[in-house]
Structure 1
Amino acid sequence: MGAREDLLAVPDEQLRRGEIGQAVLVHMDFKDSPQRWWSGFGDLDAGGFRWQGLGDLIGVSQINSTYQVSAEQVTFTVAATPEMLALALNAKDRVRDRAVTVYLQLLAGHLPLGSPMALYSGTMQRMPWSASGPDQRTLTIEAEGLFYRRNAPPRGRWTDADQRARYGADRGFERLPLYTQGYETRWR
């Protein structure tokens, strides 16, 4: 069933009482252990999966719901313990370029109404962190939309490494860094 059918299936009595809430559900496809969490407390069974409640330990930046193709960035902010920070800093290869999907789930009390509706799909990128005191540590996971660098060709940079990846022994860009540092060609 699609989102429209799910919304039409909500009984009129529930709609008129005004007791319908919403929650954010997030699936992060980490390399070794994919995680499903939601912005409430306790576990939530929705869409055939169990979502772990993180409450206010994590925040999600604003997501624009437009019907245009975009490559918007979404950030997830986690209040991190020292152990979490150490694990995250050693796990960049398990996070970078992995899928992340954000869903909207309608709730009646603590019970889900219908299926989760996808709001955002992207890939996780950088994980900057900050610390402001002994007890305040923040870890941020930046995610880029699926259309990030969509028009750029693979290996689209003019660097020696990209050129060698394309054509093996080609040395055409080998001296390019010299020319960006005020290099002056002398013609005779």
Structure 2
Amino acid sequence: MTARDDLLAIPDEVLRNGSIAQAALVHMDFLDSPQRWWTGFGDLDVAGHRWKGLGDLIAVSPIASGYSTSARQVDFTVAATPEMLGLALNAKARVRNRDVTVYLQLFANATMAGFTAGGGELMYGDPIGSPMSLYTGTMQRMPYGGTGTTQRRITLETWGIWLKRNAAPRGRWTHADQQARYPGDIGFERLPLYANGYETDWRK
């Protein structure tokens, strides 16, 4: 069933009773420890998964809803917990280029549960319909910092699916790409040594 079919299946009286709300569901496919959060309180069981209320997720930057073929960036602010700090320190291996998806979930019989740090309302109620994809991208850098000795902040930078649309396939100067282009060619096999300052005396 498509998102449109889900919406059409919602009774008209439910949509018009003034208690419809929405929340964001976020799935981050970290290596070894995928996370699912939603912008509400408590655990939420939707679409066969359990989404943790806020958890280590603090804020999500604005997501453009218009169609575009440019690589859109969405940033997430997460709590500086030991687990998140470990991911930031090992971002290249456990975070970078892995999938992130943001969904929109509708709720009926919604009531206000509180406010986000940015001033937005947090709602909860009865989930209706299936989650609708708002944003799909890949996770990139995970810089961390803060002020003083008590404030720490971790930001997860993500880019949309058009990030590498202009990149040529197999266009990297790596041994793996060279093998894909010309099997058996070892011209790039030692390139990492040179990139890290490797020197040799060619007269020997």
Q: TM-score, normalised by structure 1?
A: 0.79
Q: 1:135: how far off?
A: 2.3
Post-superposition offset of 1:16: 2.0
What aligned pairs does 1:53-92 form with structure 2 within 5 A after superposition? 53-54=53-54, 57-81=57-81, 83-84=82-83, 86-92=85-91
Distance 1:137 1:14, change over 3 A: same
CA positional deviation for 1:106: 0.5
Task: Tell me what 2:187 maps to.
Answer: 169
What per-residue deviation string (whole Å, max 9, x for no partner) do you get for residues 25-44 of structure 1? 01111110211111111011
1:122-147 per-position Cα deviation (integer Å, ceiling 9, x unaligned): 11000011211222211011111111
Letter in 1 for 2:64: N
Q: Secondary structure at the match of 2:16?
A: helix
The alignment covers a number of residue pairs equal to: 168
Unmatched 5+ residue regions in structure 1?
A: 178-188
1:180 is matched with which residue?
Answer: none
- Pair 1:140-2:155 in alignment: yes
Q: Which runs of 5+ in 2 are unaligned?
A: 111-124, 179-184, 196-204
Structural RMSD (CA): 2.5
CA–CA separation in structure 2 for the residues paired with 1:45 and 1:163: 44
How far apart, CA to CA, are the structure 2 residues paired with 1:128 and 1:18?
41
Mapping of residues 1-188 of structure 1, within 5 Å = 1-54=1-54, 57-81=57-81, 83-84=82-83, 86-92=85-91, 93-108=93-108, 109=110, 110-154=125-169, 156=171, 162=173, 166=178, 168-169=186-187
When normalised by structure 2's length, the TM-score is 0.73
Cα offset, 1:66, TM superposition: 1.6
Pair 123,57 (structure 1): closer, same or farther in 2 beyond 3 Å: closer
State the alpha-carbon separation in 2 of the partners of residues 114 and 137 from structure 1: 37
SS in 2 for 1:13: helix
Q: Percent same amino acid among aligned pairs?
A: 59
CA distance in 2, matches of 1:44, 1:56: 15
Assess, with a 3 A threshold, how the Cα gap between structure 1 residues 163 and 62 changes in structure 2: closer, same or farther.
same
Return the alpha-carbon distance in structure 2 between the equivalents of residues 17 and 46 of structure 1: 22
